[in-house]
Structure formats: structure tokens, C-alpha cells
Amino acid sequence: MNRKREISAEEALQRLIDGNERFLKGAVRMSGPSVETITRLTKGQQPFATILGCSDSRVPPEWIFDAGLGELFVVRVAGNIISPEVAGSLQYAGAHLHTPLFVVLGHEGCGAVQAALETKFQGVRQRSRIQLLVDGILPALKGVDPRLPPRKRLAQAVEKNVRRTVQTILESPEGKARRAEGWMKIVGAIYEIRTGRVRFLEDSGSASHITGRVTKGPRGHVKK
């Protein structure tokens, strides 16, 4: 079945920004899904954004963007890194759900990124499978300033890690294809643990390349 995408990447981004504002004000609209919503969603899902975030218990995307059932396609993994499984989930979101917006969401005080810094600067070896996660983060930490005080250094590393994940998605064959089509946007963002605010990295590489005038959805090739 062909259908027009109901929402552009820009509108999807604005929805996330507005949701985070409601969250900050304590004015969330979500108080649990209605029976109508649950029933409606039995027909299928059409989330307006895909979020790749960290598993940290303090950063559930549905909460911080005040989003309900069926609104966000969420992939969470410690350190918001790309792995084959994560890439597969993102590919599914792009190819089958056609979410117009992809957000890589890092956060202040990320333990996974901190562990990677410890490996990089103190030679700490983590437990076996944690080390696999850390190994996925290490390439992003090139250029992190070891002279910065710990909190600033972690903040710098978190942002670099987000930017690298964004770049990896952009440089994938699918990322390039969607960019060429012009309907999808990828942005990096950082959740500020201390304030609850999400800071979008407008220059995370992607936005400016991909967006421009993203006002229409993909036409005629949306399959359900």
C-alpha cells in the first residue's frame, strides 16, 4: 500500500523539541495509553522518529520527549554505539517504517563513555563483553583533551561519540541513499542529566547536509 508520509523530518524534530519542553515543565501529556490508542496500534506502527540512545536508566526517550506508544522507534545500547544488530534495527526503521528523523542520543555522565576514557588514558581493561562495548567507543575518542578536568573531558567524549555514530550512519549505503532522496534527517543530541534538557547538535554533520528543504515525504515507494 502506498501512502504519503504524514510528517516531515523538520516537523518530527520540532515534535521532539516540544516534547522535551513539556518534560522540563512537568507538563507531560502522557499518563498511560488509552484503549483507543492500543486498539489503533494493532493495525501497525508509524513512529515519527527513530532514536538510538544509551541504556542508562535516566534517559528513556519516551519520557524525555514525552512520547507515547507507537510514536518512537527506540534502539538502546550502552554508549549508543553501532553494532551489526543496532545497524539492522536502524535499517529496519529506515526501510520499513520510513521514520523521517533519526536521532543519536548521548547523555552527560555516560558510564560506557567513561569506561572508554579509562581504557584510553589509564589502560584499564574492562570485563570481556564490556570491553567489546568500549572498543566500539574508543575510535570516537581521538582528540579528546586529556588535560581537561574529568567532567569536561567526559562531556567532550560523549559529544564526540555521538558525532561519530551520526557519521557512521550517514556514511552507510542506506544513509547515503536516504540523503540523496532528501526526506530523512539524522541529528545528534545530548541529554543533560542535570537539567533534563536535550541539546540538539545542529552541526552534527548531517542536518545541514541532509535537510535543507525536507518538506515532503517519500512518494510512492512507502511499503507497508
User: Which residues are at the interface with Zn ion (CB under 5 A)?
Assistant: 54, 56, 110, 112
- Identify which of residues 12 and 108 has a Cβ nearer to Zn ion in the complex: 108
- Identify which of residues 9 and 134 has a Cβ nearer to Zn ion in the complex: 134
- Identify which of residues 130 and 222 has a Cβ nearer to Zn ion in the complex: 130
- Identify which of residues 19 and 106 has a Cβ nearer to Zn ion in the complex: 106
Q: Cβ distance 50 to 102 under 8 Å?
A: yes
Q: Is the dihedral of CA 205, 206, 209, 212 positive or negative?
A: negative
Residue 55 CB, shortest distance to Zn ion, in Å, is 7
**In 10 A of CB 39, how many CB atoms?**
10
Q: Cβ distance 175 to 210 under 8 Å?
A: no
Residue 71 CB, shortest distance to Zn ion, in Å, is 22
Place of cell 520499513: 96
Which residues, 6 or more positions from 58, have their beta carbon under 8 angstroms from its beta carbon?
A: 107, 191, 193
Residue 78 CB, shortest distance to Zn ion, in Å, is 6
Residue 9 CB, shortest distance to Zn ion, in Å, is 25
Measured at the CA of 117, the angle between CA 141 and CA 159, to 5 degrees, comes to: 45
Q: Cβ distance 144 to 160 under 8 Å?
A: yes
Residue 76 CB, shortest distance to Zn ion, in Å, is 9
| CA–CA separation, 204 and 28 (whole Å) | 28
Q: Is 70 helix (H, G, I), strand (E, B) or coil?
A: coil
| CA–CA separation, 189 and 169 (whole Å) | 14
- Identify which of residues 53 and 217 has a Cβ nearer to Zn ion in the complex: 53
Residue 56 CB, shortest distance to Zn ion, in Å, is 4
Nearest to residue 69, comparing CAs of 34, 98, 101, 94? 34
- Identify which of residues 49 and 157 has a Cβ nearer to Zn ion in the complex: 157
